[in-house]
Amino acid sequence: MKRILVSNDDGIDADGIRALAAALEAVGEVTVVAPEREQSAASHSLTLHKPLRIYERGPRRFAVSGTPTDCVNMAVHHIMPAPPDIVVSGINRGANLGDDVTYSGTVSAAMEGTLLGIPSVAFSQIMWRPTPFDGAARFAADLVRQMLERGAAGEMLPPDTLLNVNVPDLPWEAFRGVRWTVQGKRRFTKEQVVEKTDPRGRKYYWVGGSDLEWEGNPDSDHSAVTQGYISVTPVHLDLTNHDALRRLRDWRLDAGGRPPA
């Protein structure tokens, strides 16, 4: 039986991870290792300056006093008797579209799995209106099953690549389909930081207070979900701009009299 590691950034008691783990029980042996409390926007951070604690919450169900990245590390290197065949993160409450992947703890759990050489996928559901996670969990089970089958047949994901999935807040029968997408891009405005005043007259600030604006790329993850499609984006961990590297080699840089190599 295939070993499936499930994690998230909303915490072990979140409805999304419960729905995901339950759906994946039909696919393989599920082990849940998730933060003991919400770690949204934790990004790809590791806890290095304080000890971590593990709390067993049930059979193959563990809470960790750290980040999503900590959880995947602890699961692979300490908790699970053998490494998982796949790392599945989510289902996040809210989108992880475009630039959000750089902040997201949900996506970072999948990034850590990818860095450890394990096929990984992150699931998020848009929450513009209250919608159960049933449809997203059903799609997650189908995709994870196919990933495992393709992996067994030698059709692995490309190196250093994870899948980032965003699901509209619609019931299963209302999905228009699935699109392979590119990472979208937000337009940042000054209103991203909202200034307020507390009862004692001191200023405080909320980050991300305004509605988001997006560039209108029809192939983007944002365009797909706003049209009712499930978005699946392959995310590559190599952040090198190889085209820029080729052009920048012509720059005349000096390091103590030695030209660039």
Question: According to the model, what pLDDT value does residue 45 have?
Answer: 74
DSSP-derived secondary structure for 185-241: -EEP-GGGEEEEE-TTS-EEEEES-SPPEE---TTBHHHHHHTTEEEEEEEES----
Assigned domain for 65 exists: yes
Low-confidence ranges of the chain (pLDDT < 70): 41, 187-192, 208-212, 255-261
pLDDT of residue 47: 78
**Tell me, what CATH number does 155's domain have?**
3.40.1210.10
H helix or E strand, kind and range, residue 110 = helix 105-115
- Does residue 195 form part of some domain? no
pLDDT score recorded for residue 37: 84
Question: Minimal CA–CA distance to 11: which of 78, 86, 63, 52?
Answer: 63
Does residue 79 lie in a domain region?
A: yes
Q: Which has the closest alpha carbon to 217: 133, 43, 41, 99? A: 99
Q: Which two tokens stand for residue 14?
A: 């979140």
8 A C-beta contact, residue 167 and residue 124:
yes
**Torsion angle, alpha carbons of 34, 14, 129, 217, to 10:** 0
Domain assignment of residue 37, yes or no: yes
Contact predicate 249/150, CB 8 Å: no
Cβ contacts of 234 within 8 Å, gap of 6 or more? 157, 158, 161, 162, 163, 164, 180
What is the pLDDT, as a whole number, of residue 249? 86
What number of other Cβ atoms are within 10 A of residue 208's Cβ? Answer: 13
Establish if 189 belongs to a structural domain. no
Q: How many domains does the chain have?
A: 1
Residue 204 in any domain: the answer is no
pLDDT digits 0-9 by tens, 162-183: 999 999 999 999 999 999 999 9
- Domain range spanning residue 236? 3-184+216-248
- Whether residue 239 is contained in a domain is answered as yes
Residue 130: what pLDDT?
A: 81
Residue 146 lies in a domain: yes
